[in-house]
Amino acid sequence: MTETPETVRPPVLFADEHEEFAEWVRGFAAPYSDGYLDRAHSEEFPWEMAQRMGAQGFLGLGTSEKFGGQGVIGEQLTKTHLGIAHEELAYADFYLSQLAYTCNLTAPLLERFLPAHVAEDWVPGIVGGEHIVALGLTEPGSGSDAAAMRMRAERTEGGWILNGEKTSITFAPHAKAMITFARVDGGTDGEGGITAFLVPLDSTGVGMQKFADVGWKPLGRAGVFLEDVFVPDELVLGGVGDGFRLVMREFDYTRSVIGLMASGVARRALDLSIDYVRQREAFGKAVAHNQGVSFPIAEHATTLEAGRWLTYRALSLADADLPFTREAAMVKWWVTDISIKAVRDCIVLHGHSGYSEELPFQAMLRDVSGLEIGEGTPQIQKVVIGRSLLGKEFR
């Protein structure tokens, strides 16, 4: 029997360096827990928090030291490190994790695919928490089917003219720019003509409609409309026609990390509930004595732990440069689902107070639910899993 390489084994125990890294993140994040509920109710963007995160390096995980980051993935850091960071940040405050998630995605993309002199204008500001760059993929008629997008780019002297609409773009109301994917006029049907552009959102022809969401309030979400927007050649990412491959390469990683963000929030909700049921009394004793209370806690602790390690399994495959599309889809579907169920039962355990906005559980439920619909719905993840098991001919 062939021995499985060490890098492919599920990390049932973290290495010492991972434990130390987790402690570092945990120490930074813990003081933000008390402010989570106030942030969840506010539409004000947490710029001060972002800048503090930047000063500590949490927005530069995956960005080179040249641009103020902590190092590129595969050298100083691994995707497992990123997963640990996002889990620990989400446990303390979902918005810490979401800020890190977006910045640690967009900054490395810009560093890698923009000309160096252009990247210098954008990447350090992201890493330092001074500005945000949103990711604009979803359109009203195309979400997970990235190849079906209708945003168009037409060649013009010195650059491109973009026309179309993106929808449900997180951070758009506060972003300085958006990484936008468009089909190049004359490109072939399917994936061949899709190109990535960095579009400054103060460009002439950019319009925006902010969404009135129930959650994610401080982050903001909007539809973005581009009408004859000029983008110079130097703001093309990855070359003409390479946008589809660029974004699809990132999907497996982002879907995996979302699992740790969701389970991090749910574990926090569960820990708060455990403290509560130990103290809450009914009929002369703490309600934690009742199996109707202890059993759901036991069940959710078990599934959340299983979900965590499924996610780290996916990230360990990524670090070993092995395929992990199926595992990432499993994480995106199942871990967000069990996290929502855990938070919902925590609300029930708190009774009427859990239903109020005085406690954080309603905000947690809304925030985790937002993760469920992002980066591909649960239904499309099941399609991905099914195809990987049955073959692409079974759709």
Active site residues: 375
Q: Please, what is the angle between helix 361-373 and helix 94-113, to 10°?
A: 30
Q: What angle do CA 379, 215, 129 make, to 5 degrees?
A: 105
Q: Please, what is the angle between helix 94-113 and helix 47-56, to 10°?
A: 60
Among 221, 220, 55, smallest CA distance to 129 is for: 55
Cα separations in angstroms, 41 against 69, 217, 359, 366: 31, 7, 11, 11
Distance CA 178, CA 199 (A): 5
Distance CA 260, CA 195 (A): 30
Beta bridge partners of 231: 160
Cα separations in angstroms, 6 against 39, 77, 266, 303, 312: 42, 17, 30, 25, 14
161 CA to centre of own chain? 29
Cα separations in angstroms, 151 against 2, 181, 287, 298, 351: 49, 7, 56, 48, 47
245 CA to centre of own chain? 19
76 CA to centre of own chain? 21
Look-up of token digits 């929030």 = 265
Contacts of 191 (CB under 8 A, 6+ apart): 146, 147, 244, 245
- In the numeric block, which tokens belong to residue 338? 């069990």
Phi-psi region of 376 (alpha: psi -120 to 50; beta: other; left: phi over 0): left
Distance CA 72, CA 65 (A): 8
- DSSP letter assigned to residue 386: H
